[in-house]
Chains A and B, each alone.
Chain A
């Protein structure tokens, strides 16, 4: 991989206002293609460029922070072109909403597990166009019919023995016009799709050369660490920097809306300077409540129906007519995303009076507009170079452009005119908000005298991070935030009387989507409550799901596959129990069967997870498996240990010692099975998360008799 800060000669990138083709992930052949196609290049569209040196450059509009889109887009393009895998390199797209918007949101951004869903048709079409034009150019040069030319492993061939590389036809392909639109390949001709190809970024991530924001080094650059208020939305009223300024390396100290910024020659003096500051905070209007109090308020609200998101049949009649009714109240804590690389951003002034920002921007055009507003610039004067990021899980996708705004605020207030790298400490990350919101769910279910589930009523209480965001109009419908109720209002089970409602509560704690969003809590409450209702009639958990999902073949497909591979129903040694859960999120279907025992620490020890996934056509099966494995670990981490608590508005946790995360000794073995499908590809980054926690809770209930309604497990399991 290389980061080249030299301007690119390539018009298709220049035209968008970016300064460079900045980030290339090379597949094996060392530095070849580093400067990208020298003089001549064929650029049929915004996503592919073929150089005279035979290099194929794929422009990826999705950020790479582990979910594999770089390899995914490379696979689709390489396949469509029948390229040699070694010809391909991947670069990150500049901020350009016209060329690179995500069709799922209208802005340029990565999220909602849409990277492949949103690239499938677009890149196959882009590749088909490039292919057809290369073939047309060769046909003209060889004076043969286009239909007589094939491509094999990056070589154009004619039956009479003529052959040539892509690079030889760059000029010709640029000049030809196609007489008919190019159509993508059919499935029987796939070369890479569905096969195991090595990930394009693996080598650089095993030898220390992969470049992240924190690694950017520029001449005259200073590092910024910010002293932040103890309560959200606090402002620095005054500060004493006399101690900080005596620290060698500290250059200047000034207030920004986020707190008090310390600029220094490196992270260590900046951090020491931050710690040496004495700051008086203005806390007017800050949130002063604690999480325990919030839970009590939320629980009270959950006693009453909220704004109705779904209403089938006659819930009140069904509940009053039911033979047995059970109730359960669930609580879910704030969760920090805690990606390994804390928030950071490099910002610098450019020669044209604008700025360049280099960072793991998850929503480049939102970040661009946000920074431009702070600096009073035309957004076109703000270029964004999206770098690899050390994880996100939702954290970097702030609809308000937080990190970009912060970097712009620092640049604006600093006397220093050179580049600045803003780095968050881990404490800033854990205490810094944008959490998965606290939720309370109240469920009431009824069965008839035969044990059939006849009523299901669910009330969801929590904060809406869509309210007030640029996505409010799309995501808040008739007073219901769809991200709060997704997975519950979309419950697939055939229950005749079903009502789901929600209350939105205002709390002064900034919140955000966390890997799988609403499904982080709705999958848990619905899949565990279903088991409780099934238990009333002694119905097997797999059987009840089969009965109620008769009209949902894709749910059934993953459910049956996971159950079969796990040996559902077969005997287990004493001290072990199985649990099952199935959930649809981001148009993908995942079922998981877990085997759980009692761990030494009193918590569930998850020994084995069997996962089945249906995400449409499997572009990169190994990446799909890796995402299921990772999603399972991430969901397990959150449900076993994860919680951010507030005392009078102040966050209690600060780092990995008290915001506990999953470690290798707590990771189960995971087996992943992919359901063959002809449907278009859907997401894999998030859908592995939702089923794991309820599957574990269901197994735990079977093992111990205890139903866990409050997360995380570590707080509510006796002796843990």
Chain B
């Protein structure tokens, strides 16, 4: 089947079985590998992307359920919030192995797009679906607060 989607602003016509998760369309068909596979069952958040502006776990989103969707991956984020988040992540040296960080950053951008001054409780609620086995959580929290400050400027 051919499925039409827009990825990072580019119109794509993808040949894929309709049950193929968006994750594997992005990675194996479109070659965008910043979005990661961690669990396949929406338990770790490594595969988080935006579908029509909302964060989604791409590993459990069949491509057939989102025709004509507008997708943004880590490779395509570029707005003010994204820049603030990436700058904060770099300044605070958040990543260790780094594998989960694309997903963490996507969730953080989604949070800060919704709430520009999140409380620790807001951070817990927005980020607890993203697992980091290096447990960089302490720095993720600090980086989200830091990004929030950067967005003021």
Interface residue ranges, A against B (CB under 8 Å)? 65-68, 198-199, 201-212, 214-215, 217, 223, 248-249, 265-269, 271-272, 338-342, 388-393, 423, 425-426, 622, 626, 629-630, 632-634, 636-637, 655-657, 661-665, 667, 669-670
A667 partner, pick from B38, B39, B89, B137, beta carbons under 8 A: B137
B98 partner, pick from A201, A217, A662, beta carbons under 8 A: A201
Complex alpha-carbon distance, A210 and B98, angstroms:
8
**B95 and A202 contacting across the interface, CB-CB below 8 Å:** yes
- When A208-B74, A212-B99 are in contact, do A198 and B93 touch as well, CB less than 8 Å? yes
Q: Mark B71-102, 1 if CB is under 8 A from A, else 0.
A: 00111000000000010011001111111111
Complex alpha-carbon distance, A597 and B116, angstroms:
30
**Chain B residue at minimum C-beta to C-beta distance from A629:** B138
Pairs of residues from A and B, 10 with the lowest C-beta to C-beta distance, nearest first: A208-B34, A633-B135, A390-B99, A205-B98, A66-B96, A66-B97, A208-B74, A266-B28, A215-B33, A667-B137
**Chain B residue at minimum C-beta to C-beta distance from A391:** B97
- When A202-B95, A390-B98, A655-B39 are in contact, do A66 and B134 touch as well, CB less than 8 Å? yes
Interface residue ranges, B against A (CB under 8 Å)? 17, 19-21, 24, 27-29, 31-41, 43-44, 46, 73-75, 86, 89-90, 93-102, 105, 123-125, 127-141
**B93 and A339 contacting across the interface, CB-CB below 8 Å:** no
User: B residues within 8 A CB of A214?
Assistant: 33, 36-37
Complex alpha-carbon distance, A622 and B21, angstroms:
38
**Chain B residue at minimum C-beta to C-beta distance from A217:** B31
**B41 and A630 contacting across the interface, CB-CB below 8 Å:** no
Complex alpha-carbon distance, A342 and B44, angstroms:
13
Complex alpha-carbon distance, A663 and B134, angstroms:
11
**Chain A residue at minimum C-beta to C-beta distance from B129:** A663
Beyond A66-B96, A661-B133, A663-B128, 15 additional pairs, beta carbon < 8 A: A66-B134, A198-B93, A205-B101, A206-B90, A206-B105, A207-B34, A208-B32, A215-B27, A267-B27, A339-B99, A340-B38, A391-B133, A630-B96, A661-B131, A663-B130
B135 partner, pick from A199, A392, A632, beta carbons under 8 A: A632
- When A393-B133, A661-B131 are in contact, do A655 and B41 touch as well, CB less than 8 Å? yes
Minimum CB–CB distance for A27 against chain B, Å: 12
**A340 and B132 contacting across the interface, CB-CB below 8 Å:** yes
User: B residues within 8 A CB of A66?
Assistant: 95-98, 134
Minimum CB–CB distance for A623 against chain B, Å: 8
User: A residues within 8 A CB of B135?
Assistant: 629-630, 632-634, 636-637, 662, 667
**Chain A residue at minimum C-beta to C-beta distance from B40:** A426
Complex alpha-carbon distance, A633 and B19, angstroms:
36
User: B residues within 8 A CB of A268?
Assistant: 17, 20-21, 24, 28
Can you sample 9 A-B contacts with CB below 8 Å? A199-B93, A206-B86, A268-B20, A272-B19, A423-B37, A426-B44, A629-B135, A629-B136, A664-B127
Of B19, B43, B127, which is in contact with the most chain A CB atoms at under 10 Å from its CB? B43
**B17 and A248 contacting across the interface, CB-CB below 8 Å:** yes
**B102 and A208 contacting across the interface, CB-CB below 8 Å:** yes
Chain A contact residues: over half helix, strand or loop, or mixed?
A: loop
Complex alpha-carbon distance, A267 and B40, angstroms:
11
Complex alpha-carbon distance, A689 and B5, angstroms:
45
**Chain A residue at minimum C-beta to C-beta distance from B103:** A340
**Chain A residue at minimum C-beta to C-beta distance from B34:** A208
Minimum CB–CB distance for B115 against chain A, Å: 16
- When A211-B33, A340-B44, A665-B128 are in contact, do A633 and B137 touch as well, CB less than 8 Å? yes
- When A208-B34, A340-B46, A426-B39 are in contact, do A663 and B96 touch as well, CB less than 8 Å? no
**Chain B residue at minimum C-beta to C-beta distance from A212:** B99
Complex alpha-carbon distance, A630 and B96, angstroms:
9
- When A205-B95, A212-B99, A339-B97 are in contact, do A626 and B139 touch as well, CB less than 8 Å? yes
**A206 and B95 contacting across the interface, CB-CB below 8 Å:** yes
User: B residues within 8 A CB of A634?
Assistant: 133-135
**Chain A residue at minimum C-beta to C-beta distance from B125:** A665
**B33 and A267 contacting across the interface, CB-CB below 8 Å:** no
**A206 and B43 contacting across the interface, CB-CB below 8 Å:** no
A208 partner, pick from B73, B96, B124, B141, beta carbons under 8 A: B73
**B99 and A425 contacting across the interface, CB-CB below 8 Å:** no
User: A residues within 8 A CB of B40?
Assistant: 271, 425-426, 655
A669 partner, pick from B105, B138, B140, beta carbons under 8 A: B138
**B43 and A341 contacting across the interface, CB-CB below 8 Å:** no
User: A residues within 8 A CB of B139?
Assistant: 626, 629
Minimum CB–CB distance for A516 against chain B, Å: 14
User: A residues within 8 A CB of B138?
Assistant: 629, 633, 667, 669-670
B43 partner, pick from A202, A266, A655, beta carbons under 8 A: A655
**Chain A residue at minimum C-beta to C-beta distance from B44:** A656
Complex alpha-carbon distance, A494 and B128, angstroms:
44
Minimum CB–CB distance for B141 against chain A, Å: 7
Minimum CB–CB distance for A431 against chain B, Å: 13
User: A residues within 8 A CB of B74?
Assistant: 207-208
Complex alpha-carbon distance, A204 and B140, angstroms:
16
User: A residues within 8 A CB of B125?
Assistant: 665
Complex alpha-carbon distance, A248 and B139, angstroms:
43
**Chain A residue at minimum C-beta to C-beta distance from B91:** A198
- When A632-B135, A664-B127 are in contact, do A340 and B28 touch as well, CB less than 8 Å? no
